[in-house]
Amino acid sequence: MLETVEFDNPSLANLLCGPNCTHLDMLTAVSGACIGNRGSSIFIESPNPDVRQILCKVFLQLYGLLRGGKTF
């Protein structure tokens, strides 16, 4: 199954993904999900619905922090 998380600010979405998508790669390694991005959208693929739900929440929370001015 596939979940998509879309963001309204492409610059912040890019920061969320990290340089060369290193942040996505780290989350892929620890979750076992396949995570990709295009533009300001992140795609999460995993057979486990709990993993997909948790990753969606993580991305939304991190994005909220970036919108609030936090940096990683």
| Count: domains in the chain | 1
Which CATH number fits the domain that encloses residue 44? 3.30.1370.10
* Site of tokens 């993993």: 51
Is 72 among the domain residues?
no
Phi/psi region, residue 57 (left: phi>0; alpha: psi -120 to 50; beta: rest), is alpha
Q: Are 14 and 67 in contact, with CB atoms under 8 Å apart?
A: no
pLDDT in tens, 13-64: 999 999 999 999 999 999 999 999 999 999 999 999 999 999 999 999 999 9
pTM listed for this prediction:
0.92
Q: Which domain holds residue 40?
A: 2-67
